[in-house]
């Protein structure tokens, strides 16, 4: 490896580590407790499981897939030696940031290797910029655990499809969204039967373990727990009602049941009721386009990136929830798009970086003002949500323009 290439790799690693350190530290500085979920929710869940109390997803129905508890328990183990120095909460926060950084570093190493090509270097810089612009939310949420799994799984789809889909399926059992990448991969990669079996085997293994641990109706509780949710204030569909709240015709209220702020007013229940069916219909429509392209012989490098991104964005824009950490879901598909088809990834990459910056402006920087329905944060959030719709249009347009040629009759 030449000195120039070595220098580039060293610089990438230094900036990667520096940005993770800065982003983790900002969690202690920014307002609105951007680290709150880690110490107020994850740590008590882990302590309960370790101490013989309720085990979320096993003894109690949970909003997350059950493997989400694994990184929470790992963090508790990492935090134990730090408790005398930092206290329980401080130790858990530091251990969580360390765990996320280590996992990101593993995926970053897979991405750039020892002598990264130009597309891989660009993808690495994109990932670094996205973390910095999104801020502490890029680290202090369970979603951060799934990003490196999605990056590694996506990068290995062409060379190790079975292992790749197994990793993506594990990610989906931590937070559902990597399931969109599993679907995109099964449609875009020719080894789809083997990948289907790998995904089914991982899921079956998880379910069997859960049943052996005593779970029953809780096994798929993370799906049923979402049905009763209201419309969260940051959801795309909540945008018109936020403006009604500015005018005093809608209300922002806190739900103690699901620990989030929701918006209520005339029409919110009807909109909430149609979002889940809309999500299913929209995801099926995007998948159908991908299936047709695949059947006509579209290449993996052209088909998978826009298909994966479009499916992920559908999950965001049709969601009753609009949590800021949802923007982390966009990082992996764009990293993969840059690696596989860099020229056509430029616009989506710029949009995602802008989304990260706007999201950080909303949460945590102006969240208190948003809860008061003040004009400026509502405007910023509106721009963010409109840009998500633009990103969906860009992804679907790119998917529709993927060249497809009917495969020859020769056996693959």
pLDDT digits over 310-349, tens only? 999 999 999 999 999 999 999 999 999 999 999 999 999 9
CA distance 376 to 56: 39
Residue 179, pLDDT score: 97
State the Rg of the chain over Cα.
Answer: 21
pLDDT at 262 over 50: yes
Q: How many CA atoms lie within 13 A of 284 on its CB side?
A: 6
Average pLDDT over residues 374-394: 98
pLDDT at 375 over 50: yes
Domain boundaries, given as residue ranges, for the chain: 3-400
pLDDT at 407 over 70: no
pLDDT at 256 over 90: no
pLDDT tens, position by position, 220-239: 888 877 666 789 999 999 99
3-class SS string, the chain? CCHHHHHHHHHHHHHHHHHHHHHHHHCCCCCCCCCHHHHHHHHHHHHHHHCCCCCECCCECCCCCHHHHHHHHHHHHHHHHHHHHHHHHHHHHHHHHHHHHHHHHHHHHHHHCCCCCHHHHHHHHHHHHHHHHHHHHHCCCCHHHHHHHHHHHHHCCCCCHHHHHHHHHHHHCCCCCHHHHHHHHHHHCCCHHHHHHHHHHHHHHHHHHHHHHCCCHHHHHHHHCCCCCCCECCCHHHHHHHHHHHCCCCEEEEECCCCEEEEECCCHHHHHHHHHHHHHHHHHHHHHHHHHHHHCCCCHHHHHHHHHHHHHHHHHHCCCCCCHHHHHHHHHHHHHHHHHHHHHHHHHHHHHHHHHHHHHHHHHHCHHHHHCCCHHHHHHHHHHHHHHHHHHHHHHHHHHCCCCCCCCCCCC
Average pLDDT over residues 375-395: 98
71, 170 contact by CB (below 8 A): no
pLDDT tens, position by position, 67-123: 999 999 999 999 999 999 999 999 999 999 999 999 999 999 999 998 899 999 999
CA distance 366 to 360: 9
Mean model confidence pLDDT for the chain: 94
Residue 410, pLDDT score: 38
Q: String of b and e for 120-159 (b: at least 16 CB within 10 Å)?
A: bbbbbbbbbbbbbbbbbbbbbbbbbbbbbbbbbbbbbbee
Residue 5, pLDDT score: 80
pLDDT cut 70: percent of the chain above it: 97
Average pLDDT over residues 281-304: 97
Residue 228, pLDDT score: 67
């Amino acid at each position: 490896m030449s000195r120039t290439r070595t220098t580039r790799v060293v610089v990438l690693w230094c900036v990667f580590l520096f940005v993770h350190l800065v982003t983790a530290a900002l969690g202690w500085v920014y307002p609105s407790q951007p680290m709150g979920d880690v110490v107020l929710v994850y740590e008590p869940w882990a302590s309960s499981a370790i101490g013989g109390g309720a085990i979320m997803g096993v003894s109690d129905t949970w909003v997350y897939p059950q493997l989400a508890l694994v990184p929470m328990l790992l963090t508790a183990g990492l935090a134990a030696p730090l408790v005398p120095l930092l206290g329980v909460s401080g130790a858990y926060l530091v251990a969580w940031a360390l765990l996320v950084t280590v996992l990101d570093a593993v995926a970053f190493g897979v991405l750039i290797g020892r002598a990264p090509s130009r597309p891989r270097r660009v993808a690495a810089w994109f990932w670094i910029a996205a973390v910095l612009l999104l801020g502490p939310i890029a680290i202090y949420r369970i979603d951060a655990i799934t990003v490196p799994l999605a990056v590694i799984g996506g990068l290995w789809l062409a060379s190790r499809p079975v292992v790749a889909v197994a990793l993506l399926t594990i990610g989906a059992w931590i937070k559902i969204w990597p399931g969109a990448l599993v679907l995109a991969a099964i449609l875009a990669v020719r080894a789809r039967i083997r990948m289907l079996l790998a995904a089914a085997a991982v899921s079956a293994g998880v379910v069997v373990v859960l049943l052996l641990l005593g779970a029953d109706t809780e096994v798929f509780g993370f799906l049923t727990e979402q049905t009763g949710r209201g419309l969260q204030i940051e959801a795309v569909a909540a945008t018109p009602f936020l403006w009604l709240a500015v005018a005093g015709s809608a209300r922002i209220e806190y739900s103690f049941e699901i620990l989030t702020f929701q918006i209520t007013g005339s029409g919110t229940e009807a909109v909430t009721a149609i979002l889940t069916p809309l999500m299913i219909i929209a995801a099926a429509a995007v998948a159908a386009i991908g299936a047709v392209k695949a059947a006509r012989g579209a290449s993996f490098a052209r088909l998978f990136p826009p298909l994966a991104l479009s499916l992920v964005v559908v999950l965001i824009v049709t969601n009753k929830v609009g949590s800021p950490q949802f923007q982390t879901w966009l990082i992996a598909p764009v990293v993969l798009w840059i690696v596989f088809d860099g020229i056509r990834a430029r616009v989506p990459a710029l949009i995602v970086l802008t989304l990260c910056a706007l999201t950080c402006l909303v949460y945590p920087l102006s969240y208190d003002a948003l809860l008061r329905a003040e004009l400026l944060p509502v405007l910023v959030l509106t721009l963010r949500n409109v840009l998500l719709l633009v990103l969906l249009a860009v992804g679907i347009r790119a998917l529709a323009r993927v060249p497809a040629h009917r495969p020859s009759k020769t056996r693959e």
